[in-house]
Amino acid sequence: MLYMEIITWDPKDDMETAKRYAEWKPPEGYNVLGVWNDIASCRVFILSEVDNAEAYAAATLPWRDITRCETVLVMENDKFMEIAAKFGEM
């Protein structure tokens, strides 16, 4: 499934966050599809495809001491419209 993660951190942790990210390797089952940085604040958006809960946990738990992560299950609009039509919602 696809997830949009909105990750934020305190400005005082900016250098440490950048250092960790430069060294970070996504775990198996956690596939990064895109990364967008908010150039005005300490925030990044990561679109990922995740195979299972264990992969998600392996990717996010090591960051809990320095970042906050909001995760949203997302779907491409065409696919959503197809599913919604089956339920008479759209």
pLDDT bracket for residue 90 (50, 70, 90): low
| Nearest CA among 20, 2, 9 for reference residue 56 | 2
Q: Cβ–Cβ contacts within 10 Å for residue 56, how many?
A: 19
Q: What is residue 6's predicted lDDT score, i.e. its pLDDT? A: 98
H or E segment and range at residue 87: none
**71 vs 89, more confident:** 71
Q: What is residue 16's predicted lDDT score, i.e. its pLDDT? A: 96
Q: Flag whether pLDDT at 44 surpasses 70.
A: yes
DSSP state, residue 51:
S
Range of the domain at 43: 2-86
Q: Flag whether pLDDT at 26 surpasses 70.
A: yes
Are the C-beta atoms of 7 and 44 separated by less than 8 Å?
yes
Q: What is residue 89's predicted lDDT score, i.e. its pLDDT? A: 60
Count of the separate structural domains present in the chain: 1
Domain holding 6: CATH number? 3.30.70
Q: What is residue 88's predicted lDDT score, i.e. its pLDDT? A: 79
Q: Which amino acid is it at 44? A: V
**84 vs 4, more confident:** 4
